[in-house]
Amino acid sequence: MEEIKILVVDDESRMRKLVCDFLQKRGYQTYEAGNGEEAVDLFFQKKDVDLIILDVMMPKMDGWQTCREIRRYSKVPIIMLTAKSEEKDELLGFQLGVDEYISKPFSPRILVARVDAILRRSGTADDKLEVGGIAMDKSAHQVTVDGEPIDLSVKEFELLDYFMTNRGVALSREKILNNVWNYDYFGDARTIDTHVKKLRSKMGEKGSYIKTIWGMGYKFEV
């Protein structure tokens, strides 16, 4: 699967690195720009940017002008970051065609979740996942490990999907129950442990990617 590419534009290098680190853990490829002019040049040079995370307050060319320049030629999804949270700024952003508006300070995990949601809505994020030799095709309901297909039950498939989608994130048993078995499930955490055991077995050596966090739950980590 071709990697989704995200352009992160912020004049603060620490902020760029923080955002890029979280996006890369999620499996996205990132480009960085330190100001608006650099961002516009990079966007048209690369020609394969799937989403832009754009800070408002920057030297040379601010986020608004950068957005205007890009919107003249492209409908690429744009998330605006700003230290302000005034209504007029949000309205201006949406008038310029901004898809999402997030005020600083923000949780990087929430930002990544917003990125996921926008890419799903725009149809950029497809139904295929590939991590560490494990390939999942959701539409075909198939999983291969190092090219070899493995036979999973519906719940095992959904569990692996949840783990791969949230790779690198510590997941409590309660969270897994709520997201994979849904809130109307009246079982207990032992159900998860049983399914994880079967899933690990079917994944062979790759089963070690599902790490146990004692007293909490699990984390999928390559």
**Average pLDDT in the 187-212 region?**
90
Among 157, 86, 112, residue whose Cα is nearest residue 4? 112
Residue 103 burial (10 A CB sphere; 0-12, 13-18, 19+): middle
CA dist., res. 160 & res. 179, Å (int): 12
Residue 109 dihedral angles phi and psi, to the nearest 5°: -65, -40
CATH of the domain at 10: 3.40.50.2300
Do residues 96 and 161 share a domain? no
DSSP state of 3: P
pLDDT at position 1: 43
Do residues 92 and 15 share a domain? yes
Number of structural domains found in the chain: 2
- Tell me the torsion sign for CA atoms 83, 103, 9, 21: positive
- Tell me the torsion sign for CA atoms 43, 24, 125, 135: positive
Residue ending a domain, among 100, 122, 144, is 122
Do residues 57 and 165 share a domain? no
Is pLDDT of 195 > 60? yes
Instruction: Read off the pLDDT of residues 169-178 as tens digits, 9 standing for 90 and up.
Output: 899 988 888 7
Do residues 55 and 138 share a domain? no
Residue ending a domain, among 83, 99, 122, is 122
Tokens matching residue 146: 């190092």
Q: What is the domain extent for residue 200? A: 128-220
Residues paired with residue 128 on neighbouring β-strands, in sequence order: 137
Do residues 160 and 116 share a domain? no
Instruction: Read off the pLDDT of residues 104-140 as tens digits, 9 standing for 90 and up.
Output: 888 888 898 889 888 877 766 556 778 889 998 877 7
Do residues 138 and 67 share a domain? no
Give Rg (Cα) of the chain: 20
Do residues 150 and 116 share a domain? no
Higher pLDDT, 138 or 149: 149
CATH of the domain at 211: 1.10.10.10
Do residues 35 and 51 share a domain? yes
Do residues 192 and 163 share a domain? yes
CA dist., res. 29 & res. 5, Å (int): 5
Residue 41 dihedral angles phi and psi, to the nearest 5°: -60, -45
Packed helices 63-71 and 87-95: angle between N→C axes, nearest 10 degrees: 20
CA dist., res. 30 & res. 32, Å (int): 7
Do residues 171 and 186 share a domain? yes
Tell if the pTM clears 0.75, that is, is over it: no
Do residues 185 and 114 share a domain? no
